[in-house]
Amino acid sequence: MVGPQYDLVGNPLGAVRATFERTAAAAASESGGADPVAAFRGKDWGAGDLFRSFLFEQDGLGKVPVLDASNLGLIKPNTLVRYRGMVQDMLGNEYYIGAFKDGSTWRTNKYTDFSPFSMPHPCDSHLWERHLFHCVPAPGQNSWTLESSPGPDVRRMPNCLAPELREKRKRDGDDDAMDVSENGHGESSFCKKPKEGDVHVSSSSTEVAGTVPEMNGGDHHIPGSSFSCLVKIYDMPESQVKLNDVIEFIGVYTFDPELAAPSDNPDDIMLDLMEDVTVQLPPSKVPRLHCLVWRKLSSHDFISRPVVEPSPSLLKGIRQSLLSHLTLVLGNDELAAQCLLLHLLSRLRNRVDVVTVGRLSLNFAGFNKESASIFGNQLYSLIQKLVPYSQAIPLSIDYLNSATLQPRKDNKSGRLVTGVLQLPQGTHLTFDETLLQTGSLTSKGVENTMLLKNLMESQKVDYDFEYYKLEMAADVQLLTLSEGKSNILPSDLVVPFRPSSVPTVNAGAEETESWRWYLATVRSLPQSTEPETYQMIQDEMVSAMRDDRSLGCSELSRWLTMAQIMASSFGEKSLSLEHWHMVKELERLRKQRMQ
Amino acid sequence: MSTDDIPPSSEAGDDETDGGGGVDATPVFVWGTNISVQDVNAAILRFLRHFRDPRDAGRVDPVMDEGKYMRAIHRILELEGGESLDVDAHDVFDHDPDLYSKMVRYPLEVLAIFDIVLMDLVARIEPLFEKHIQTRIYNLKSSICLRNLNPSDIEKMVSIKGMIIRCSSVIPELKEAVFRCLVCGFYSDPVMVDRGRVTEPHICQKEQCKATNSMTLVHNRCRFSDKQIIKLQETPDEIPEGGTPHTVSVLMHDKLVDAGKPGDRVEITGIYRAMSIRVGPTQRTVKSIFKTYIDCLHIKKTDKSRLHVEDTMDIDSSNASKSTEEDFLSDKVEKLKELSKLPDIYDRLTRSLAPNIWELDDVKRGLLCQLFDGNPLKLPSGASFRGDINILLVGDPGTSKSQLLQYMHKLSPRGIYTSGRGSSAVGLTAYVTKDPETGETVMEQQTVSIAKAGIIASLNARTSVLACANPTESRYNPRLSVIDNIHLAPTLLSRFDLIYLILDKADEQTDRRLAKHIVSLHFENPNLEELEVLDLQTLVSYISYARKYIQPQLSDEAAEELTRGYVEMRKRGNSPGSRKKVITATARQIESLIRLSEALARMRFSEVVEVRDVVEAFRLLEVAMQQSATDHATGTIDMDLIMTGISASERQRRENLVAATRNLIVEKMQLGGPSMRMIELLEELRKQSSMEIHLHELRGALGTLMTEGAVIIHGDNVKRV
């Protein structure tokens, strides 16, 4: 469509309204003026298409600034921004006057919190709805993921810079940067060190107090997170977005100091009683984003590597380099490295009632405090470099008794108070159980332990809704480092850890990137298994049971999981006998160690 | 025009011609469509006067000459109470579908006329009746999921189910204000409050006074009404996967205030309304965003949970009469009843329970009995018998015990938590221990170790208990008793009606089935045979219905069978060759058997417990007992194993040892003579006896003798006294 006609980044609402008024006028002349906009409820009249085509077909995505804690306050309200965050809470629907008749012209309030034109009173109008989502930066998000899709530096984009700040820049007489961005090459300069005279939130915060959002530091519902965003989504069923989804939202950033002012209507007691959840998230602290386009992010979206065909030969090569690196990090314990690789490639593939298929939690036993600090730290920092979201949890009595693991609905504030276990799908958790000493667990400690156990056994987290618990499906990789086998967190796979050298680590950036790509690719590789394989596996299982009566349902099921991951790890789409035997050999070595 | 692709969720669909957002339009505009006040007036009058409950049809009773609502009006007048008339919307629909649809679409206007017609009617019957009677509509033809409310429902009558999560305090709202002149003391006429505002007269109305700015509000002469806001939240079963519950504010007036409390599940009938929010001080920001709430007309409490039926809540007095079966739509009930008539319903239910958990059919049958429950019984003497069936699963690790447990947990209503505030085990603490040798960590909870032999979950907030225990050793030792295997107090163990041992058995056929089962879990195997099963939702409805409406009674034949079977079971205890009687059944078993038989009858929706139910109950009990109470030394079923942890043969052995020791002491030692060392006694005993004797066994026997006063023990020395 017509791209350059509008400044979609600097004035997205202009484009929204222009398309609306044009479409409405056309519809009016067609229908003979009856009510042309009724049909626009819950529909895109072409504005969304315009932005989609700009972002994805004309390479516009790279021109849209990324809204984050560093530039909040620099960005001019009503400009187009990108925001990546996890859906932390769903706040229901909001009704607003979507369209109203101003004289003979239909106008729209879509993608904004207020009406840009004064609305005649009374007037013909339409009530529309939008969904509200409270989003926070994804918990445990590793820093490398942020580099994957940087936006342009808003400081060099005059059309998107908050006016007060622009003024300040002019006064400072630093025209150099301005020139660059005015020539339209702003995005190339993001990696430059900020120059003296560049605007920092901190230096200007006093000057612009009250006119830019402040950080939402004191929100006890999401401790530790300083930056959240209230996203308003249009024209879709709410069920398309799930709690804990990590999503990139592209839309209009709004901030209106008038909206931030408290209600001046004290005599209306009704309003106070029906207090909205959004009152808890004042616009002065939580920016609003009216979403035009959104997409769920998978781990592939964080990898900047060009798209390559995942051929078995390519994957095999990377597998070898990753495995040898894991072996080095694990002090030359190759068995442990093999198991770790399978663990890192595991994901929840299927859930049948209470049976979960595909998970492979891992317990490295044989650590003490010293080795946990040497190997554990190396291991954890490697994991951080490999997966998009990871967290390390110190499993001590103290931690269990005091940590808030369970997300809980606060019915008084109407919001979900987050807990450690509110996690995006695919998160990796490392528990250090060497810190656990003999001691008493309080009822909270017991509850926390049960939550962890339940997560481990069924990949589910119970969220506390005061009057009932709501089970939320999770897909979390769990690694436990412990002295002996952990009975508190019973893992699928227990491996006594036997290092023979100190860990050595030095991985090049390019290697690391290829490993990330490998992990993301293998985990998403489809599996198609031939019916002949079913029979073969069944025969193998029966003969395995004949040889060892201690094999039970859960163990054989785990073998099959491991064999499937083993096949994928070589880039193979279907499982063969060879992989099954590799797993049996791994199990033999592992059991030897267990004795 | 069908361009609008979001259909209005209420049946009161908004015609496009009415303008979907007639929010700001005055009622006249909406009114102006095709409805005449007179027509509605007449229709309401007809309905009130002539509606007759079809259920009254067969009755010949002079009082029945009048319609249902005329009788209700008379009742209100007689009692001079109940200032509201509850009107079942189904009645309106049955009598006049057109009136129903107008009422749902334009509730504000139609209800205003309803009230006027009603008051006219009352005035004609009882001219002196002064109280205002309000019409309260309930039981709309369909209710909406809270999350499906949308702008086209605004100003419509809706019916919504949910759970109250918060109640505001009660707010008195000024309705009529009375002022007094500070100068002359004159009281003004009541001034009506208009949209939250009251105009204070600035001149005294008294001719002689006419003072200005002298009027002051007299609180105790003003008329107030109560008002309250509650927050209604979606119930868990309506929340889609990965979603969180929606909430809506509900405005309660007058009598509805405090009609519900947090935690209650209710069905609200009311008018969905939107109110503009003043978001900023200037005109331009006004009225862009709306707040929504439901103006409540009627509140009805519904069941607390899906399976929890004993404490059906006190339903509003007004409609207590028709509480039965209303939660189950009649067509749904028909479907369930049809299912219950299937000859293979028992097997089908068994297959439907945890279909992805492998085999264990008899265990699943026991679990089914638990879900259906027996009848709790309270005798006039005050003695009461529980109706719930408690089950313990014991077995090897790796068998699907805990998965079965989780499945049952899922099947039990999510709402079971509602009965107790704060859902988790309150005050439960534990102790973490670490094995000094292996470094293994274990969480010990009270006396039961969670990691090793823990009771993991209870099925129901009431008393049915489903527990699951792993043996203390890595595998179940069939040579030891259940008690020795799981270290559970015998008193606790005897509370379980059924104790299942789930052991891993070596058998090629079983192995092959297991392998097939595992493979089918991992691959979506199209070759697997599909047996007919009930889906989870149907299973839950089926169980709920049975528990709520089926109360089977023991038939005479069944009672006879019960006695016969029990006697036979006890007879079997007289194992041949043993001079001592082995008890195989206890009185507690009779209670268990009755409960199981009742549950089995319920599974067929049968009001009578038949002989076949009793026979199956015996079978279930025996299957479980054979597994858990078999004395492995003799091969007989021995309830002592469960009651005391010591089998009858073991007890016999101990008694023999005590006797042998007593004889030995009498033979070898003199009264008050020199003492003997225990080890010497042991050697002597071993010489005499063919059985293997351990020192600790001897110590035990000597302990018994010491309590008899026959010996004294000093450390390792034994003295005859």
Cα(A475)–Cα(A350) distance, integer angstroms: 11
Pick the residue of B227, B288, B306 with the most A CBs within 10 A to test the interface with A by mutation.
B288
What was the pLDDT predicted at B26? Answer: 40
Task: Choose the weakest-confidence range: A384-388, B227-231, B473-477, B550-554.
Answer: B473-477
Contact B279 A268 (CB under 8 A): no
Among B23, B244, B430, select the one facing A125 at the smallest CB separation: B23
In contact, B700 and B678? CB cutoff 8 Å: no
Cα(A423)–Cα(A455) distance, integer angstroms: 11
Which token pair is B244?
A: 């969180």
Q: Does A352 touch chain B (CB under 8 A)?
A: yes
Percent of chain B with pLDDT over 90: 12
> Which of the two residues, A346 and B399, has the higher pLDDT score?
A346
Q: Is residue B643 pLDDT above 60, yes or no? A: no
- Which range, A106-120, A277-291, B58-72, B540-554, has the best average confidence (pLDDT)? B540-554
Contact A436 B434 (CB under 8 A): yes
Provide mean pLDDT across the span B400-422.
52
A54 secondary structure, DSSP code: I
Cα(A347)–Cα(A340) distance, integer angstroms: 13
What was the pLDDT predicted at B23? Answer: 42
Give strand pairing partners of A417: A408
Q: Write out chain B residues lying below 8 Å of A114, CB-based.
A: 279-280, 284-285, 288
Among B166, B434, B521, select the one facing A352 at the smallest CB separation: B521
Nearest to B596 by CA among B626, B572, B566: B566
What was the pLDDT predicted at A315? Answer: 93
Q: Where are the alpha helices (DSSP H) in A173-278?
A: 175-182, 201-204, 257-260, 269-273
Grade residue A569 by pLDDT with cuts at 50, 70 and 90. very high
Cα(A461)–Cα(A406) distance, integer angstroms: 8
Pick the residue of A235, A453, A467 with the most B CBs within 10 A to test the interface with B by mutation.
A467
Grade residue B421 by pLDDT with cuts at 50, 70 and 90. very low
Q: Does B430 touch chain A (CB under 8 A)?
A: yes
Which positions 182-241 of A are in contact with B (Cβ < 8 Å)? Answer: 238-239
Residue A26 CB coordination number (10 Å): 12
In contact, A478 and A347? CB cutoff 8 Å: no
Q: Does B282 touch chain A (CB under 8 A)?
A: yes
Q: Which residue of B has its CA nearest to A261?
A: B280
Residue A350 CB coordination number (10 Å): 12
Q: Write out chain A residues lying below 8 Å of B517, CB-based.
A: 553
In contact, B134 and B86? CB cutoff 8 Å: no
Cα(B54)–Cα(A219) distance, integer angstroms: 59
Rg (CA), chain A: 27
What was the pLDDT predicted at B6? Answer: 43
Pick the residue of B396, B418, B522 with the most A CBs within 10 A to test the interface with A by mutation.
B522
Cα(A514)–Cα(A385) distance, integer angstroms: 11
In contact, A142 and A389? CB cutoff 8 Å: yes
The sign of the CA dihedral B257, B262, B264, B268 is positive
Nearest to B77 by CA among B12, B129, B2, B11: B129
Cα(A487)–Cα(A307) distance, integer angstroms: 43
Kindly list the distances between the CA atom of residue B480 and the CA atoms of A574, B228, B506, B705, in Å, as whole numbers in the listed order: 46, 64, 20, 26
Model confidence pLDDT, tens digit, residues A416-459: 999 999 999 999 999 999 988 888 888 888 889 989 988 998 89
Which positions 526-565 of B are in contact with A (Cβ < 8 Å)? Answer: 527
What was the pLDDT predicted at B454? Answer: 27
**Helix or strand or coil: residue A294?**
strand
Q: Where are the alpha helices (DSSP H) in A47-124?
A: 47-52
Cα(A402)–Cα(A498) distance, integer angstroms: 33
Contact B418 A488 (CB under 8 A): no
Whole-number average pLDDT of chain A: 82
The answer regarding whether domain B37-138 maps to CATH 3.30.2130.30 reads no
Dihedrals phi, psi of A49, to nearest 5 degrees? -60, -40
Q: Does B292 touch chain A (CB under 8 A)?
A: yes
Q: Which residue has the tokens 């609200």?
A: B268
Cα(B100)–Cα(B87) distance, integer angstroms: 11
Q: Where are the alpha helices (DSSP H) in A173-293?
A: 175-182, 201-204, 257-260, 269-273
Provide mean pLDDT across the span B448-457.
28
Q: Count A/B contacts: CB-CB distance under 8 Å.
A: 340
Cα(B321)–Cα(B300) distance, integer angstroms: 13
Model confidence pLDDT, tens digit, residues B460-476: 234 466 777 777 666 67
Grade residue A198 by pLDDT with cuts at 50, 70 and 90. very low
Give strand pairing partners of A525: none
What was the pLDDT predicted at A246? Answer: 96
> Which of the two residues, A53 and A203, has the higher pLDDT score?
A53
Q: Is residue B386 pLDDT above 70, yes or no? A: no
- Secondary structure in 3-state letters for B15-35: CHHHCCCCCCCCHHHHHCCCC
Contact B24 A264 (CB under 8 A): no
Q: Does B357 touch chain A (CB under 8 A)?
A: yes
What was the pLDDT predicted at B397? Answer: 65
What was the pLDDT predicted at B385? Answer: 63
What was the pLDDT predicted at B464? Answer: 61
Q: How far apart are the first and last CA of chain A?
A: 70
Contact A490 B451 (CB under 8 A): yes
What was the pLDDT predicted at A178? Answer: 36
Q: Which residue of A has its CA nearest to B445?
A: A446
Report the topology of domain B143-178+222-301.
OB fold (Dihydrolipoamide Acetyltransferase, E2P) (2.40.50)
Q: Does B194 touch chain A (CB under 8 A)?
A: no
Contact B410 A274 (CB under 8 A): no
The residue count for chain A: 595
Q: Is residue A150 pLDDT above 70, yes or no? A: yes
Grade residue B357 by pLDDT with cuts at 50, 70 and 90. confident
Contact A122 B25 (CB under 8 A): yes
The letter for the amino acid at A252 is V
Contact B519 A265 (CB under 8 A): no
Provide mean pLDDT across the span B69-79.
84
Whole-number average pLDDT of chain B: 73
Contact A553 B358 (CB under 8 A): yes
Contact A467 B239 (CB under 8 A): no
Which token pair is B531?
A: 């047996």
Residue B311 CB coordination number (10 Å): 11
Q: Write out chain B residues lying below 8 Å of A546, CB-based.
A: 508, 511
Grade residue A242 by pLDDT with cuts at 50, 70 and 90. very high
Q: Write out chain A residues lying below 8 Å of B515, CB-based.
A: 537-539, 541-542, 545, 556
Cα(B533)–Cα(B339) distance, integer angstroms: 11
In contact, A104 and A148? CB cutoff 8 Å: no
Q: Whole-structure pTM over 0.90, yes or no?
A: no
Instruction: Looking at the complex, report in whole angstroms how far the Cα of residue B515 sits from the nearest Cα belonging to chain A.
Output: 5
Percent of chain A with pLDDT over 70: 83
What was the pLDDT predicted at B3? Answer: 38
Among B26, B407, B434, select the one facing A438 at the smallest CB separation: B434
In contact, B501 and B482? CB cutoff 8 Å: yes
The distance from CA B230 to its chain's CA centroid, rounded to whole angstroms, is 23
Dihedrals phi, psi of B172, to nearest 5 degrees? -75, 135
What was the pLDDT predicted at B474? Answer: 66
Provide mean pLDDT across the span A241-253.
95
What was the pLDDT predicted at B682? Answer: 85
The sign of the CA dihedral B628, B634, B638, B644 is negative
Among A443, A534, A552, select the one facing B519 at the smallest CB separation: A534
Which token pair is A121?
A: 């009173």
What was the pLDDT predicted at B313? Answer: 30
Instruction: Looking at the complex, report in whole angstroms how far the Cα of residue B551 sits from the nearest Cα belonging to chain A.
Output: 29
**Helix or strand or coil: residue A441?**
strand
CA dihedral A480, A483, A484, A487 (to 10 degrees): -50
Which positions 111-150 of B are in contact with A (Cβ < 8 Å)? Answer: 147, 149-150
Q: Where are the beta strands (DSSP E) in B264-373?
A: 265-278, 286-301
Grade residue A528 by pLDDT with cuts at 50, 70 and 90. confident
Pick the residue of B438, B518, B528, B534 with the most A CBs within 10 A to test the interface with A by mutation.
B518
Q: Is residue A203 pLDDT above 50, yes or no? A: no
* ipTM for the whole complex: 0.83
What was the pLDDT predicted at B430? Answer: 64
Task: Choose the weakest-confidence range: A163-172, A236-245, B490-499.
Answer: A163-172
Say whether the peptide bond before residue A122 is cis (omega within 30 degrees of 0).
yes
In contact, B416 and B305? CB cutoff 8 Å: yes
Contact A397 B433 (CB under 8 A): no
- Domain residue limits, chain B: 37-138, 143-178+222-301, 648-720
Which positions 598-627 of B are in contact with A (Cβ < 8 Å)? Answer: none
Cα(B101)–Cα(B92) distance, integer angstroms: 9
Q: Write out chain A residues lying below 8 Å of B518, CB-based.
A: 541, 553, 556-557, 560
- Which range, A282-296, A352-366, A567-581, has the best average confidence (pLDDT)? A567-581
Contact B398 A124 (CB under 8 A): no
> Which of the two residues, B301 and B250, has the higher pLDDT score?
B250
The sign of the CA dihedral B714, B718, B719, B721 is positive
What was the pLDDT predicted at B524? Answer: 66
Q: Does A262 touch chain B (CB under 8 A)?
A: no
> Which of the two residues, A436 and B58, has the higher pLDDT score?
A436
Q: Write out chain B residues lying below 8 Å of A534, CB-based.
A: 519, 523, 525, 527
In contact, A340 and A331? CB cutoff 8 Å: no
Report the topology of domain B648-720.
Arc Repressor Mutant, subunit A (1.10.10)
> Which of the two residues, B278 and B194, has the higher pLDDT score?
B194
What was the pLDDT predicted at A201? Answer: 35
Contact residues for A340 (Cβ-Cβ < 8 A; gap 6+)? A326, A330, A362, A479
